[in-house]
Amino acid sequence: MLIWSKGKSYMLASTGFYAVLNLCVKKLSYLPALELLFFRSAISFLICGFGIWQAGVYFFGSNHKWLIIRGIAGVLALWLYFISIQNMPLASAVAIQYTSPVFTALLATFLLTEKMSKWKWFFFLISIVGVLLIKGFDSRLKLEFVLIGLVSAFCSAIAYNAVRKLHKSEHPLVIIMYFPMLALPVSGYYCAMHWVQPIGWDWSLAILMGILTQAGQLCMTKAIQLERLENVTFLNYAGIIFALILGFSFFGETFDWISLSGILLVMAGIFLNLFERKKDETVEVKPI
């Protein structure tokens, strides 16, 4: 029986928000990645701060160790991801980033003692093979940026596991807040030394980045707090489809039959993972 849930809906919404964010980052490729990170962090800080004030929760949370780990991993992941987007075709950068659920599942077996069935590993393998086919043998891809993308994916996996560690103790906005709190000092200093002026309507894209990432972070955090990691993070793969469509529509990035085969495999891995018993879908969480 095909089982859908609120956690999956949150994660799919998060993927959609990030797909549009990727488009903005690609459009603003002439701006340094750390400057884009500054815009994203400044807007997120304001939105989170207001939300935390309205919710009446403690600003700094309680589990500071994992909140800081989540913040540092998230900052590194997004910074490196922006670099890869700016220096590779959009679909290729996104495809490499979406190896993160595999890293996430691997880390979760050690950090969270979450076990995965052999079938789930097989379905993940199907999606990974699809990612490799989408990536293909593109001569536009330089090894250094591929490695940067993979490190970004690994850092994302650390952040996912940290969020899961915090699911019983922290409000989602507090978890999200640690990202801009740690990112603003670093990116702000860089901007002060190496500022590049956005041109015309690019200001609106830079502001939109902050709004989109805030929405994406909130939906992702709620999804992970509601369910086991491997039950929701696989939906990130839908972002590859979004990237292929947006890359072709806005940048003329084309793909051949190998990439189309990869899309089918990725989609197969996604939907096969939806067939899970209900007993594996829910976890006990603190009401938020």
Q: Which residue has the higher pLDDT, 35 or 139?
A: 35
Which one-letter DSSP state was computed for residue 4? -
Distance CA 75, CA 81 (A): 10
Residue type, 9: S
* Total Cβ atoms within 10 A of residue 277: 9
pLDDT band at 279 (very low <50, low <70, confident <90, very high): very low
- b/e burial code for range 69-98 (CB count within 10 A of at least 16 → b): bbbbbbbbbbbbbbbbbbbbbbbbbbbbbb
Contact indicator for 163, 224 with CB cutoff of 8 Å = yes
- pLDDT of 160 reads 86
Q: What is the mean pLDDT of residues 25-45?
A: 93
Establish if 237 belongs to a structural domain: yes
Establish if 240 belongs to a structural domain: yes
Residue type, 149: G
Percent of the chain with pLDDT over 70: 88
Q: What is the mean pLDDT of residues 131-143?
A: 72
- pLDDT of 133 reads 78
Q: Which residues contact 237 (CB under 8 A, 6 or more apart)?
A: 98, 101, 127, 130, 131, 266, 267, 269, 270
- b/e burial code for range 255-272 (CB count within 10 A of at least 16 → b): beeebeebbebbbebbeb
Which one-letter DSSP state was computed for residue 88? S
Whether the pLDDT of residue 2 is over 70: the answer is no
Establish if 204 belongs to a structural domain: yes
For 69, the domain range is 11-277
- pLDDT of 286 reads 38
Establish if 130 belongs to a structural domain: yes
| Residue 56 structure tokens | 């009446």
Q: Which residue has the higher pLDDT, 277 or 174?
A: 174
pLDDT band at 284 (very low <50, low <70, confident <90, very high): very low
Contact indicator for 285, 250 with CB cutoff of 8 Å = no
Distance CA 230, CA 106 (A): 10
Contact indicator for 14, 219 with CB cutoff of 8 Å = yes
Q: What is the mean pLDDT of residues 23-47?
A: 93
What's the pLDDT tens digit per position in 3-29?
Answer: 678 888 898 899 999 899 999 999 999
Distance CA 78, CA 148 (A): 11
Query: What's the mean per-residue pLDDT of the chain?
Result: 83
Whether the pLDDT of residue 155 is over 90: the answer is yes
Establish if 3 belongs to a structural domain: no
Establish if 1 belongs to a structural domain: no
Whether the pLDDT of residue 33 is over 80: the answer is yes
- pLDDT of 277 reads 42
- pLDDT of 239 reads 83
Q: Which residue has the higher pLDDT, 148 or 288?
A: 148
Which one-letter DSSP state was computed for residue 284? -
- Provide the whole-model pTM: 0.79
How far is residue 175 CA from its own chain's centroid?
A: 15
Establish if 284 belongs to a structural domain: no
Q: Which residue has the higher pLDDT, 277 or 40?
A: 40
Whether the pLDDT of residue 226 is over 90: the answer is no
Contact indicator for 166, 66 with CB cutoff of 8 Å = yes
Establish if 288 belongs to a structural domain: no
- pLDDT of 94 reads 85
1-10, 46-55, 66-75 — which is least confidently predicted? 1-10
Distance CA 98, CA 92 (A): 10
- pLDDT of 109 reads 77
Residue 41's Cβ-count burial label (10 Å; 0-12, 13-18, 19+) is: buried
Residue holding tokens 């599942």?
Answer: 105
What's the pLDDT tens digit per position in 72-88?
Answer: 999 999 999 999 999 98
Structural domain count of the chain = 1
What's the pLDDT tens digit per position in 88-124?
Answer: 889 888 888 877 777 887 788 777 676 767 777 787 7
DSSP 19-74: HHHHHHHHHTTTS-HHHHHHHHHHHHHHHHHHHHHHHT--TT-S-HHHHHHHHHHH
